[in-house]
Amino acid sequence: MTAPIRFVLVETSHPGNIGAVARSMKNMGLTDLVLVNPREFPHPEATARASGADDLLARARVVPTLEAAIEGCALVLATTARTREQHFRVHEAREAAARLVAEARSSASPAAVIFGTERYGLSNEHLLRAHALLRIPANPEYESLNLAMAAQLIAYEIRMAQRDAPVAAPRDAPLAAPEDMERLFRHLEEVMHEADFRDRTQSGTHLMGRIRRMFNRAELDVNEVNILRGILTAVQSKRRRAGSAQA
């Protein structure tokens, strides 16, 4: 069974790279390409570099935000060149491919790989939308991979995982979709504000980032998110009743 895997390219600068990624994907049997705010697309250079993957380019969706690109996905992994990251899990490409395939099969929702810009990669804000990071273990003396190379290597590992992975048992409950997690984070911020729980990190702006990373590492399923939101709603209800009684 082929697992639905989505490649998401964020703010790609060079249209030729979009075509090259489409070619890499078609080589390995992947078809779901989403582009977040590309500089130029469609473009003749993208078509030329696709070299026969024109159909995949024609189906590619262009969206304005990363949130729109990963909507409805199960596991979301963000590519990185970092060897270690204390706040995130970091999976090497082979392990990551096996996880992507297993999660997409068991949840029947797409799993996503996010690729950043050619020059700067992904921002910290982008990384906060992922459950974990994906790294290609290249030569530590020269780890520079261009976008098309990285996509080809990851697509190959996914192809091998598709071929070799056992059939995954369906989850009791699917992973919470990114939009469900966003609703949880907004709800939590609302309750924190009502309870006057302030950000006491040094800059006063890091608390929600830490909370996001903590919950993303936990990989909550839909039921767990509903439980947490139910608790938050109950806390709000108690506070409002207490406030009315005092008034």
Model pLDDT for residues 45-100, shown as the tens digit of each residue: 999 999 999 999 999 999 999 999 999 999 999 999 876 666 899 999 999 999 99
**Band of residue 114 on the pLDDT scale cut at 50, 70, 90:** very high
Picking from 164, 199, 229, the residue at the C-terminal end of a domain is: 164
CB-based contact 119:17 (threshold 8 Å) = no
3-class SS of residue 217: helix
Reading phi first (left if > 0) and then psi (alpha if -120 to 50, else beta), residue 134 is in: beta
| Among 102-116, 172-186, 200-214, the least confident range | 200-214
Whole-number Å distance between alpha carbons of 211 and 208: 5
CB-based contact 47:54 (threshold 8 Å) = yes
Per the listing, tokens 């993957």 go with: 53
Q: Is the predicted pLDDT of residue 239 greater than 90, yes or no?
A: no
Residue 50 sits in a domain of what CATH number?
3.40.1280.10
Percent of the chain with pLDDT over 70: 92
Domain interval for residue 41: 5-164
Statement to judge: residues 91 and 154 lie in one domain:
yes
Total count of domains within the chain: 2
For residue 8, the model assigns a pLDDT of: 98
Statement to judge: residues 39 and 159 lie in one domain:
yes
Statement to judge: residues 62 and 88 lie in one domain:
yes
Model pLDDT for residues 159-182, shown as the tens digit of each residue: 999 998 766 667 788 899 999 999
Residue type, 27: N
pTM over 0.85: yes
